[in-house]
Chain A
Amino acid sequence: MTNNESPGHPTLHPELPVSHPTPPPIEGPGPLDGIRVIELSHEFGAFAGKLLADSGADVIVVEPPGGAEVRQRGATAAGATAEVVAAGEANLTWWADNTGKRSITLDLDESAGAEAFKELVATADVVLESDDQGRLAVLGVDHNDLMPLNPDLVWASITPYGRSGPSAGDQMTDLTMLAGGGPMWSCGYDDHTIPPVRGGGNQGMRITGNYAMMAILTALFARAEHGGQHIDLNMHAAANVTTEFASYTWLAAQLTVQRQAGRHAAPEPTNSTQTRCADGRYLNTGVPPRTPREFDALQEWMIELGLVEKFDLFSLLAFGADYELMTLELIATDPMVGEVFQAGRDAIAFISQNLSAHEMFVGLQTRGIVAGVVWSPDEVMQDPHFIERGYPTPIHHEQIGRDVVFAGAPIRLTGSPMRVRNRAPMVGEHTAEILAELGL
């Protein structure tokens, strides 16, 4: 049952249905085919630019001479030569967040660079910028200068506190955004002498990019009737409204949630929902059985697995048939219901001592009981479900002479697909081509 040789390497469970509908094809031009975006390179706007490029827009990222700041910071591709690394062409964050874009290098501090930028903006549908407060105005190329020249232009400013809030101009990174804006208060461990935790993967930048994308698409749709406009995105506000339960628990009830590992922060402590399985990996056990159907399924599964004799509380599970639905109130107030409910929880914990986390996930889900295996990001790309849907997407990188697996499109548009189209550009890779297009 437990596969000790390759923990975490999923194998297709024999009980899964064998034939499935085929995923729709993901070819052809994207929904933003024909839309041009000018992105001033910055870590705040990079992910929004990727979303736009993966949607088929012509996204031109403007880098300073020598390349964007992020290219010289952090993890690089191990297979790249020292020369490639030094040139900023092996940076993993750049590769991840700039797929499908073109790159031009322009020095906005020089008049020729600023002029070329103006020419570019004149051809654009969208401008994406996160520049330091006031810098573009000094250079004569901010939204007040350039929007009148292009009445259909959508100009998105993506900044920590908005362009005119009380803290406009203050500094922010992913970590401080999630700390000050609320998400971090809800994340961490039951022990509060341990610091609260930032969810991994620079999610502050994702939240920012997702909201920028929604706002830009909304403004693009409104162009037909209203023309172009300015979007002022406030990252601190974006974090604040991406905190779910914590916010509305305060707004409605003036209660403060407290963080606890693996489950919702709540005003009062709740039961753990993370179980360590036989392979040492974790399972999110979701909502334990509360209906006759779920208790039946659990008993049948334990019989199949030959675990009945080993689980002392097995006979209690039969009483699950007596309650149409164990409401939270019933569980709390009726001792018998409480005992049967707890037996269901214990049964899942007991089975998980005998199966891997992935076997538990598939076994519970095929029996209609919600649960999730705790995969690492790479395991998602090796999981048969995601492979069958064609989700992992190989993209060639000549810097290391091979394909690299990326996550596929986040949404399947069957008529005009999103997809990861091409690798991130090299520094100024398209400068000559773009200047020629402009007739410069």
Chain B
Amino acid sequence: MGRNPDSRAARDPSHAQALSNEPATALGGIRVCDFTGQLAGAGSTRWMGAFGAEIIKIEDPVKRGTWDILRGSPPFKDERRGLEFGSGFQNHNIEKRGITLNLRTDAGKELLTELVKISDVVAENFAAGVLERMGFSYESLRQLRPDVIYASNCGFGQTGPYRSFKSWGPVAQAVSGHTQNSGLPDMEPSGWGYSYLDHTGGYYMAIGILLALLHRQRTGEGQWVDMSCTEAGAYLHGADLLDWSVNGNSLRGTDEHGRGTPNSNRARLDGRAPHGVYKCRGDDNWVAIVCRDQLEWERLRAVAGDDELNQARFDSLELRLADLDALDEAMGAWTAAHDRWDIQQRCQAAGLAAAAVQRPSERIDGDADTAAWGLWPGVNHAAMGGVRVDGEPVHLSKTDWSITRATPTLGQDNDYVFGELLGLSENEIEDLTESGVL
């Protein structure tokens, strides 16, 4: 189980069942024929695998799985390099079975046909049309299995002028508005310093598949789920989009050339102040502090005991919003002399939202909450050895997630899938391997 057994269950009996020896699974019995890669695709079946679905990850033996560039990419655990040592790939593909299948060959196509017949879902995030050109469109898959759920996921969707355009996280973030909406005034946009929308792509692909599974559970019908990462991204703007469509305010930029962004550390549309990230004692140390109402502001003033913050010019929300630069300057002058953890602790003790900006080392290895949650389960990878991976941020009282199976090495489960599931003999599997089909 991906959790720390001594904390939660003891205190909350509703979680006790999840700790029995034979954990019940939410998605047990569901089988996914999985062509996804990178995080934007692989993230979706990762979730399903952690909740008990059988995920059969299909890779190309000719290119040795390198379609997923993360397979052999840094960071690396140690000095070893190669296709089994990419840590991102290793993180994104836990709880999956791995097979190789050469779809350029007739025998390969025939085996995929057999696999589709025993699969509930076919998932892929190739560029638009790739699987169709191999002969596996939704229509042809439906001939094989009428209630199949076919989930496709690409940067711009399967239709429209940009349908052939390629994408990865930073490109999807740029085109869907997230880069322009992140940064500080009079600067180029900072954007997100990682592929935030690759996470989102995985979430929405999982949501689409789960919605289709629920629809099938009720009606017996399958369907085609078409996802565009840029559309999923543009769904996330909330009031920032309405500020344009209702009030005509664009985030195009603060000068005539579109350079600069509003200060995204402030609560531009949320009416809260202070609302910022402030420098603390030490090197690159920061604390985020928010006051949600006037009562909280008065409590913060009591915590700080600072003459600058006690000035009448900051007395009301209206006054503070009218001069955010002065407020942020006064806040920063107070925090600069203090330890960020000390400020966090004192604010939280007064019922205020405050958090130190945590480094990866701090939130992974020095955080009582992520530890108690069991957020970083360990698995034993056939090539890399012991590694820790991301867990899931929910616990379900009856059918919780479980992460124990490491990412498969290339073709690791060929015997299981082609032998046990499809009924081929050892000799047949050997022949297919030698002839380049597997």
Answer yes or no: B316 CB below 8 A from chain A CBs: no
CB atoms of A221 and B210 under 8 A apart: yes
With A75-B247, A167-B369 in contact, is A370–B171 under 8 Å at CB?
yes
B residues less than 8 Å from A229 (CB atoms): 396-399
CB atoms of A186 and B257 under 8 A apart: no
B residues less than 8 Å from A166 (CB atoms): 368-369, 372
- The listed residue (A170, A182, A230, A284) touching B358 by CB distance below 8 A is A182
B residues less than 8 Å from A274 (CB atoms): 188-189, 191
CB atoms of B193 and A96 under 8 A apart: no
- The listed residue (A78, A199, A231, A243) touching B178 by CB distance below 8 A is A199
CB atoms of B87 and A253 under 8 A apart: yes
**Segment 1-47 of A: residues with Cβ below 8 Å from B:** 7-8, 12, 16-17, 20-24, 31-32, 34, 47
CB atoms of A183 and B251 under 8 A apart: no
CB atoms of A415 and B277 under 8 A apart: no
Report the minimal beta-carbon distance from B170 to chain A, rounded to whole angstroms: 5
- The listed residue (A47, A172, A276, A376) touching B252 by CB distance below 8 A is A376
CB atoms of B170 and A233 under 8 A apart: no
Q: Hey, what's the 0/1 contact readout for B338-375 against A, CB within 8 Å counting as 1?
A: 00000010001001111111111101110011101101
Report the minimal beta-carbon distance from B271 to chain A, rounded to whole angstroms: 4
Report the minimal beta-carbon distance from A113 to chain B, rounded to whole angstroms: 23
- The listed residue (B26, B245, B251) touching A226 by CB distance below 8 A is B26
Q: Hey, what's the 0/1 contact readout for A404-420 against B, CB within 8 Å counting as 1?
A: 11111111111110100
With A221-B26, A248-B91, A376-B177 in contact, is A31–B211 under 8 Å at CB?
yes
Most buried by B among A12, A47, A196, A400: A196
Answer yes or no: A95 CB below 8 A from chain B CBs: yes
Answer yes or no: B203 CB below 8 A from chain A CBs: yes
The residue on A at minimum CB distance from B354 is A176
Answer yes or no: A235 CB below 8 A from chain B CBs: yes
Q: Hey, what's the 0/1 contact readout for B226-248 against A, CB within 8 Å counting as 1?
A: 11101110111111111111111
With A253-B77, A389-B157 in contact, is A184–B288 under 8 Å at CB?
yes
CB atoms of B225 and A411 under 8 A apart: yes
- The listed residue (B158, B159, B181) touching A201 by CB distance below 8 A is B181
With A92-B269, A410-B231 in contact, is A255–B75 under 8 Å at CB?
yes
CB atoms of B181 and A416 under 8 A apart: no
Instruction: Give the distance in Å from the alpha carbon of A177 to the alpha carbon of B286 in the complex.
Output: 14
The residue on A at minimum CB distance from B212 is A413
CB atoms of A17 and B196 under 8 A apart: no
Report the minimal beta-carbon distance from A170 to chain B, rounded to whole angstroms: 5
**Segment 105-160 of B: residues with Cβ below 8 Å from A:** 156-160
With A235-B393, A377-B240 in contact, is A181–B363 under 8 Å at CB?
yes
CB atoms of B360 and A201 under 8 A apart: no
Answer yes or no: B281 CB below 8 A from chain A CBs: no
CB atoms of A20 and B159 under 8 A apart: yes
Listed stretches B307-315, B384-392, B410-418; interface member: B384-392
With A8-B252, A176-B354 in contact, is A252–B284 under 8 Å at CB?
no
- The listed residue (B11, B191, B225, B275) touching A164 by CB distance below 8 A is B11
Answer yes or no: B253 CB below 8 A from chain A CBs: yes
CB atoms of A375 and B241 under 8 A apart: no
CB atoms of A20 and B163 under 8 A apart: yes
Could you write out 23 A-B pairs with CB less than 8 Å apart?
A8-B258, A162-B369, A165-B369, A171-B351, A173-B290, A181-B358, A203-B178, A232-B396, A236-B369, A236-B370, A237-B391, A244-B194, A244-B195, A247-B390, A248-B389, A256-B361, A262-B189, A374-B174, A378-B245, A379-B252, A389-B160, A411-B232, A414-B225
For the complex of A and B, list the 7 residue pairs with the smallest distance between their C-beta atoms, beginning with the closest: A280-B257, A415-B223, A180-B355, A200-B181, A372-B171, A372-B174, A179-B288
